[in-house]
């Protein structure tokens, strides 16, 4: 039976992944951890095991692994792209030194480890359209540097120490439960909140900027499917390209207008985040994930927009 520890469990992915893991594997087999308590997550903290853990503290991590007989770590603690440019030292410390601790525990205690990489692992010299699984990776952000280095480190632990490491390169993730923090693709989440609250949104990402995106239920499926995949079928490990859609701000706005015809989009471009977005691919080729472990996302832009607006209306208590 799996005994899973999730780091960064109160973040955008973790807060929804915990619910899914507790449903699949049982409440007591999915331990949530975060470096601090965050408001709004009382249910997650009270409904099952929860520990305050700083992934930079190896002893604290090891104690929790021992306490719950953990055999799987899903390592979601990370600093994202825009925040990473403002604080590169913390970005390196959490994303790399934290990952190193997780991998060392994996080696010592024979754990399976999942670590998300990102489209940020690519850079301006990467082929931007239909970006291949195996291609040039020369990112120009600290977050991207930690993601490429993290992919290599995870592959190293697999090859050298036979640690069962797996990962995907997530695109921008869109969800209604917990807001993302400090990312470049966050505009694609904020736009839905503002569309419902004010029927307008000012985008910090410019017209025409195409990026890969995915709705959270597909991202959660990707994590579970890859963790459960038959290792004999995996030619790659860290990390698989995965995508569900690729759009620019005008296209997400058009899909929102189908439901809120008065919705207006304008722009106040943030040069820092725009430069990051410009360095990332327009669209990924995720055929390796499809072939090796059956990746098959369910939500396109239209289906995601419909569901996001329905769920957010309830959450924000906004009438149709
Ligand atoms: C970010 O924008 O930094 C993240 C990512 C694509 O990794 N959402």
The full set of domain ranges for the chain reads: 4-171+216-241, 172-213+244-316
| 203-254: pLDDT as tens digits | 999 999 999 999 999 999 999 999 999 999 999 999 999 999 999 999 999 9
> For 7, phi and psi rounded to 5 degrees?
-90, 155
| Ligand 1 pocket, mutate which of 121, 170, 187, 273 (most atoms under 8 A from CB) | 170
Tell me what pLDDT residue 262 has.
97
Predicted confidence (pLDDT) at residue 196 exceeds the cutoff of 80: yes
**CATH architecture, domain 4-171+216-241:** 3-Layer(aba) Sandwich (3.40)
pTM confidence score: 0.97
Q: Exposed, middle or buried, 275 (CB in 10 Å: 0-12/13-18/19+)? A: middle
Based on the residue annotation, tell me whether 157 is a catalytic residue of this protein: no
Please give the pLDDT value at position 62: 98
Give residues (CB < 6 A) around ligand 1. 80-81, 118-120, 143, 170-172, 183-185
pLDDT tens digit string along 106-158?
999 999 999 999 999 999 999 999 999 999 999 999 999 999 999 999 999 99
Q: What is the mean pLDDT of residues 260-285?
A: 98
User: What pLDDT, on the 0 to 100 scale, is given for residue 41?
Assistant: 93
pLDDT at 203: 98
What is the b/e burial string over 59-92, where b = at least 16 CB atoms within 10 angstroms of the residue's CB?
ebbbebbeebebbbbbbbbbbbbbbbbeebeebb
Q: Which atom of ligand 1 is nearest to the CA of 280?
A: 6
CA 114 – CA 73 distance, rounded (Å): 6
- pLDDT above 80: residue 320: no
61-72 mean pLDDT: 98
Q: Which of 236, 216, 130 is nearest to 173 (CA)?
A: 216
The catalytic residue among 143, 157, 187, 299 is 143
Span 291-317, average pLDDT: 97
Residue 319: pLDDT over 90:
no
Pick the CATH number of 172-213+244-316 from 3.40.50.2300, 3.40.50.620, 3.20.20.240, 3.40.50.720: 3.40.50.720
What pLDDT is recorded for position 277?
A: 98
pLDDT at 88 over 90: yes
* Domains 4-171+216-241 and 172-213+244-316 equal at CATH topology level: yes
Please state the atom number of ligand 1 nearest to the C-alpha of residue 84.
3
């Amino acid at each position: 039976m799996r005994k899973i520890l999730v780091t960064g469990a109160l973040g955008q992915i973790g807060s929804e992944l915990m619910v899914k893991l507790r449903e699949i594997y049982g409440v007591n087999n999915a331990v949530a951890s975060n470096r601090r308590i965050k408001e709004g997550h009382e249910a997650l903290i009270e409904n099952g095991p929860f520990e305050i853990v700083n992934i930079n503290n190896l002893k604290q991590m090891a104690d929790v692994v021992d306490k719950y007989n953990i055999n799987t770590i899903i390592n979601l603690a990370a600093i994202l792209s825009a925040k990473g440019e403002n604080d590169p030292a913390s970005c390196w410390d959490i994303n790399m030194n934290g990952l190193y601790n997780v991998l060392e525990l994996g080696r010592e205690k024979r754990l399976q480890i999942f670590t998300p990489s990102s489209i940020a692992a690519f850079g301006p010299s990467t082929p931007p359209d239909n970006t291949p699984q195996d291609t040039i990776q020369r990112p120009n952000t600290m977050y991207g540097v930690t993601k490429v280095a993290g992919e290599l480190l995870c592959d190293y632990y697999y090859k050298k120490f036979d640690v069962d490491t797996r990962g995907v390169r997530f695109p921008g993730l869109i969800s209604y439960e917990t807001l993302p923090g400090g990312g470049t693709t966050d505009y694609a989440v904020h736009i839905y909140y503002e569309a419902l609250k004010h029927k307008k949104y000012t985008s910090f990402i410019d017209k025409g900027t195409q990026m890969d995106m995915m709705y959270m239920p597909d991202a959660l499926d990707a994590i579970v499917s890859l963790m459960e995949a038959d290792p004999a079928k995996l030619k790659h490990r860290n990390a698989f390209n995965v995508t569900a859609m690729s759009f620019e701000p005008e296209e997400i706005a058009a899909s929102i207008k189908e439901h809120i015809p008065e919705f207006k989009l304008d722009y106040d471009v943030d040069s820092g985040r725009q430069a990051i977005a410009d360095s990332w691919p327009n669209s990924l080729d995720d055929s390796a994930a499809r072939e090796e472990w059956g990746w098959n996302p369910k939500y396109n832009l239209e289906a995601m927009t419909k569901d996001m607006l329905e769920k957010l209306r309830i959450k924000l208590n906004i009438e149709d």
